[in-house]
Chains A and B, each alone.
Chain A
Amino acid sequence: MVADMEVDEGRADRMAEIYERSAPGGFRLAYLLTGDRAIAEDLVQEAFLRFVGRLHYLRDPEAFDGYIRRTIVNLSNDAFRRRAMERAYLERRTAELREDHTDRDVAAYQSMRAALLTLPPRQRAAIVLRYYEDLHESQIADLLRCRPATVRSLVARGLEALRQIPEVTT
Chain B
Amino acid sequence: MTDQDVRDFLERMAVEEPAPFLDPAPLTRRARRRAARTVVFGALGAAAAIAALFVGVSELREASPTVPAIDPTPTPAAVASGAIAYSLDGDIYVADPEGSNAVRIADSTTDARCEGISEYSMPSWSPDGTHLAFQRDCPTSDQTDVVITDPQGNIVTEVPRDGWGFSWSPDSTRIAVWETWPETVDVYGVDGEREESLALGPDVKVHNDASPMWMPDGSALLMDGVYEIPLDGGSPHEWGVGLLRRLEQVTYSADGTRVALIKRNSIDILDVADGTSVSTVAGLTDVDVWSPDGDRFASLAHGELNVVDVASGTVTVLTEARTALNGAKILGVRGFSPRGDRILYEAGDGVGGATALWSIGVHGSGARIVVAGTTQGDWRSR
> Which residue of B has the minimal Cβ distance to A56?
B116
Q: Assuming the A-B contacts A1-B72, A169-B1, are A150 and B31 also in contact, with contact meaning beta carbons closer than 8 angstroms in the complex? A: no
Q: Which of A19, A54, A75, A144 has the most CB of B within 10 A?
A: A54
Q: Which of A16, A57, A70, A77 contacts B115 (CB 8 A)?
A: A57
Q: Assuming the A-B contacts A43-B352, A162-B6, are A19 and B27 also in contact, with contact meaning beta carbons closer than 8 angstroms in the complex? A: yes
Q: Assuming the A-B contacts A20-B24, A153-B182, are A82 and B332 also in contact, with contact meaning beta carbons closer than 8 angstroms in the complex? A: yes
Q: Which of B20, B28, B352 contacts A12 (CB 8 A)?
A: B28
Contacting residues, chain A, for B141 (C-beta < 8 A): 142
Bound state CA distance, A92 and B301, in angstroms? 15
A39 and B350 contacting across the interface, CB-CB below 8 Å: yes
Report if A90 contacts B (CB, 8 A): no
Q: How far is the CB of A24 from chain B (nearest CB, A)?
A: 4
B140 and A45 contacting across the interface, CB-CB below 8 Å: no
Contacting residues, chain A, for B350 (C-beta < 8 A): 38-39, 42
Q: Which of B6, B137, B286, B351 has the most CB of A within 10 A?
A: B351
Contacting residues, chain A, for B161 (C-beta < 8 A): 145
Q: Which of A70, A75, A147 has the most CB of B within 10 A?
A: A147
Q: How far is the CB of B307 from chain A (nearest CB, A)?
A: 15
Bound state CA distance, A24 and B15, in angstroms? 11
Contacting residues, chain A, for B90 (C-beta < 8 A): 50, 54
A40 and B17 contacting across the interface, CB-CB below 8 Å: yes
A interface bracket (residues with beta carbon within 8 Å of B): 35 or more
Bound state CA distance, A150 and B7, in angstroms? 21
Report if B50 contacts A (CB, 8 A): no
Where chain A touches its partner, the secondary structure class is helix
Contacting residues, chain A, for B274 (C-beta < 8 A): none
**How would residues 42 to 78 of chain A score, 1 for a CB under 8 Å from any chain B CB and 0 otherwise?**
1111111111111001111001001100110011110
Contacting residues, chain B, for A109 (C-beta < 8 A): 9, 12
Bound state CA distance, A53 and B38, in angstroms? 12
Q: Assuming the A-B contacts A19-B22, A71-B139, A146-B162, are A28 and B14 also in contact, with contact meaning beta carbons closer than 8 angstroms in the complex? A: yes
Q: Assuming the A-B contacts A2-B39, A7-B35, A145-B144, are A45 and B352 also in contact, with contact meaning beta carbons closer than 8 angstroms in the complex? A: yes
**How would residues 49 to 79 of chain B score, 1 for a CB under 8 Å from any chain A CB and 0 otherwise?**
0000000000000000000001010000000
Contacting residues, chain B, for A74 (C-beta < 8 A): 119, 137
Report if B346 contacts A (CB, 8 A): yes
**Interface residues in B1-47 (C-beta closer than 8 Å to A):** 1, 3, 5-7, 9-14, 17, 19-20, 22, 24-28, 30-32, 34-35, 38-39, 42
Report if A107 contacts B (CB, 8 A): no
**How would residues 91 to 115 of chain A score, 1 for a CB under 8 Å from any chain B CB and 0 otherwise?**
0000000000000000001001100
B183 and A60 contacting across the interface, CB-CB below 8 Å: no
Report if B326 contacts A (CB, 8 A): no
**How would residues 101 to 135 of chain A score, 1 for a CB under 8 Å from any chain B CB and 0 otherwise?**
00000000100110010001111000110011000
> Which residue of A has the minimal Cβ distance to B30?
A49
B352 and A150 contacting across the interface, CB-CB below 8 Å: no
Bound state CA distance, A153 and B164, in angstroms? 15
B115 and A82 contacting across the interface, CB-CB below 8 Å: no
A120 and B207 contacting across the interface, CB-CB below 8 Å: yes
Q: Assuming the A-B contacts A159-B6, A168-B1, are A144 and B31 also in contact, with contact meaning beta carbons closer than 8 angstroms in the complex? A: no
A7 and B115 contacting across the interface, CB-CB below 8 Å: no
Q: Which of B12, B31, B164 contacts A15 (CB 8 A)?
A: B31
Contacting residues, chain B, for A19 (C-beta < 8 A): 22, 24, 27
Q: How far is the CB of B137 from chain A (nearest CB, A)?
A: 6
Contacting residues, chain B, for A157 (C-beta < 8 A): 207
| 20 CB < 8 A contacts A-B | A7-B35, A12-B31, A25-B19, A27-B20, A28-B14, A45-B27, A47-B352, A49-B31, A49-B34, A53-B89, A57-B109, A66-B140, A67-B140, A74-B137, A82-B331, A84-B288, A85-B332, A120-B208, A122-B164, A142-B142
6 closest A-B pairs by beta carbon, nearest first, are A57-B116, A46-B352, A42-B352, A16-B24, A146-B163, A24-B19
